[in-house]
């Protein structure tokens, strides 16, 4: 006897088309002010990216990972959270972090190699950036389960790339999330590359979203350059998690328009033609077209927005560069609540050596 014991399908969601028109049927409620605010955060992320590239080239900050092209996925998803919720990010999530109140000077400080950039003011619910690929989903699941035990009705959103889904930790996180109904939203920024490794070498599965199904919870694929689709999918997922119905996996299909990091040269492994094709799907241009179609935006407002953003960025650069130099203790202070003996030993030895002027 043979019979089918399971069948599955994966939904794809797109609301805002390339020409700036939108599918009213799926459009989530957003006021004019909210849509303009979303646009503000996306442009702020893009402009900060551009400024940071210059700062890195001038030696004023260290290596950093630009997010150009991924602003809709990042901003749209973070915009669906409530203030008490938490973000557990990867290293390419500036849009979402800005939505959640990340102070720009601290973001710059982090990329200037200063640990104080990760020590955020209370109430800004963002974990420190995870550079090790694929580790943060496990932190998110553990944190979310712990929060539920403490009866805090919060949701945790975690971000990672298509490459991150090949890491063992990612699968352990997904499995535990499914079993324990963790209030987590997994956002996969499928930007088509893990440095030079293309999506096709990451998995044989036709979607990344379907991986969720094997762990017993829903996975959806969305147009990651469509901020309304990302927002709606995340809003639904956040509600599901908050109502006690467990995790959701969202695959945002997008594209990294820039290099992997400032230490990379993407022209070595991908064709300019491909980049040009994706540039036409730029999420910021698409939202701008929508705003203009709906008569919600004018050239005057655009000028004022760009001026405001330029001022905010320049004042943050000044603030970052005018900080007192960090203290050596900061290298040791933030990993554990109580510093273990071996770090204490290393700290004392470093202090002795620095006081001897070595």
Ligand X SMILES: Cc1ncc(C[n+]2csc(CCOP(=O)(O)OP(=O)(O)O)c2C)c(N)n1
Whether 242 is catalytic:
no
Give the interface size with ligand X as a residue count (CB under 6 A).
16
Question: Tokens 């064709």 appear where?
Answer: 271
Question: Tokens 């997010």 appear where?
Answer: 67
Whether 269 is catalytic:
yes
- The one catalytic residue in 12, 57, 269, 353 is 269
What string marks each residue from 11 to 50 as x (binds ligand X by CB under 6 A) or -? Answer: ----------------------------------------
Of 297, 292, 289, nearest to 19 (Cα)? 289
| Beta strand pairing call for 86-88 and 12-13 | unpaired
Nearer to ligand X, 159 or 228 (CB): 159
| In the complex, minimum distance from the CB of residue 70 to ligand X, in angstroms, rounded to a whole number | 8
| In the complex, minimum distance from the CB of residue 190 to ligand X, in angstroms, rounded to a whole number | 8
Q: How far apart are CA 175 and CA 201, in angstroms?
A: 23
Q: What is the DSSP string of 30-46?
A: --HHHHHHHHHHHHHHH
Q: Is 207 left (phi over 0), alpha (psi -120 to 50) or beta?
A: beta
Tokens for 258, please give them.
Answer: 């820039």
What string marks each residue from 159 to 198 as x (binds ligand X by CB under 6 A) or -? Answer: -xxxxx------------------------x-x-xxx---
| In the complex, minimum distance from the CB of residue 5 to ligand X, in angstroms, rounded to a whole number | 33
- The one catalytic residue in 51, 260, 286, 290 is 260
Whether 260 is catalytic:
yes
| In the complex, minimum distance from the CB of residue 37 to ligand X, in angstroms, rounded to a whole number | 25
Footprint on residues 120-149 left by ligand X (CB under 6 A): 131-133
Nearer to ligand X, 135 or 245 (CB): 135
Question: Could you say whether residue 114 binds ligand X (CB under 6 A)?
Answer: no
Whether the Cβ atoms of residue 209 and residue 203 lie closer than 8 Å to each other: no
For ligand X, which residue has the nearest CB?
161
Helix (H/G/I), strand (E/B), else coil: 18: coil
Start-end of H helices in the chain? 32-57, 71-78, 94-99, 104-111, 136-149, 168-179, 211-214, 227-242, 272-279, 283-293, 299-321, 330-333, 341-355
Chain residues binding ligand X by CB under 6 A are 92, 131-133, 160-164, 189, 191, 193-195, 256, 260
- Catalytic residue positions? 256, 260, 269
């Amino acid at each position: 006897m043979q019979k089918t014991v399971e069948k599955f399908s994966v939904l794809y969601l797109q609301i805002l088309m390339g020409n700036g028109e939108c599918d009213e049927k799926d459009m989530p409620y957003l006021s004019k002010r909210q849509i303009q605010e979303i646009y503000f955060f996306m442009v702020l992320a893009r402009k900060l990216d551009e400024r940071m590239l210059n700062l890195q080239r001038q030696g004023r900050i260290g290596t950093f990972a630009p997010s150009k092209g991924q602003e809709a996925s990042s901003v749209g998803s973070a915009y669906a959270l409530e203030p008490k919720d938490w973000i557990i990010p990867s290293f390419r999530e500036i849009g979402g972090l800005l939505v959640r109140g990340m102070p720009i000077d601290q973001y710059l400080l982090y990329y200037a190699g200063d640990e104080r950039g990760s020590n955020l003011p209370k109430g800004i619910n963002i974990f420190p950036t995870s550079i090790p690929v694929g580790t943060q989903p496990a932190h998110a699941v553990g944190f979310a389960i712990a929060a539920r035990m403490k009866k805090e009705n919060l949701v945790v959103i975690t971000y990672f790339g298509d490459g991150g889904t090949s890491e063992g930790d990612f699968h352990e996180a997904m499995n535990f999330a499914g079993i324990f109904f963790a209030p987590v939203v997994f956002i996969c920024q499928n930007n088509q590359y893990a440095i030079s490794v293309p999506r096709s070498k990451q998995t044989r599965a036709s979607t990344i979203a379907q991986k969720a199904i094997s762990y017993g919870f829903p996975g959806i694929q969305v147009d990651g350059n469509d901020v309304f689709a990302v927002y709606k999918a995340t809003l639904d997922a956040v509600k599901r998690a908050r109502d006690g119905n467990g995790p959701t996996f969202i695959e945002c299909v997008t594209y990294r328009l820039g290099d992997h990091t400032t230490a990379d040269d993407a022209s070595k492994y991908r064709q300019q033609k491909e980049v040009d094709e994706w540039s036409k799907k730029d999420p910021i241009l698409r939202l701008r077209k929508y705003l203009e179609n709906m008569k919600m935006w004018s050239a005057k407002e655009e000028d004022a927005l760009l001026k405001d953003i330029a001022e905010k960025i320049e004042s943050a650069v000044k603030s970052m560069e005018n900080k007192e130099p960090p203290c050596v203790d900061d290298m040791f202070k933030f990993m554990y609540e109580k510093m273990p003996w071996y770090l204490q030993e290393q700290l004392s030895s470093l202090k002795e050596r620095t006081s001897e002027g070595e």
